[in-house]
Copies of this chain bind each other. A is one copy, B any other.
Amino acid sequence: MPLVRIDALRADRDRLEALGRAVHDALVQTIDVPPGDLFQILTGHDGTTGMLRYGDHFGPHRDDGIVIVTITMRSGRTPDRKRALYRRIAELALEYAGTEPRNMVIALNENEPIDWSFSDGVAHYHGPSEPEG
């Protein structure tokens, strides 16, 4: 279910894939996402027709190694789980892709079970025969 977008500058296929694995492994390890529950859109911007602009919010000096991760998932994860997720993404992005933790920006968006269809026009989490709430 998590739908992940990762945006980075001048990232090639290998780096995008490493970042994708970092985020997915962190999701599996910290918030119990099933390994097959993998949906990612990864973009390496060229700096001209695709740009990332960033500041020094909360202190760290970011640079063009910045990686912006947005994750859409069902509501209900506790703050503790979310903190564990952020920590693990930062660790694994460093390990797999060499991304420095100061460059790792993450934002979550939550929705509800009925807001997902994974194939075949079916609302998998809500079920076809449940009464309407």
Contact = CB atoms under 8 A, between A and B. Distances in A.
A43 interface: yes
16 contacts: A1-B57, A17-B53, A38-B57, A39-B53, A41-B51, A41-B52, A44-B49, A58-B118, A58-B124, A78-B132, A83-B128, A86-B123, A89-B121, A106-B117, A107-B111, A110-B111
Interface of A: 1, 3, 7, 11-13, 16-17, 20, 24, 34-60, 62, 68, 70, 72, 78-80, 82-83, 86-91, 101-111, 114-124, 126, 128, 130, 132-133
B70 A39 contact: no
B133 A117 contact: no
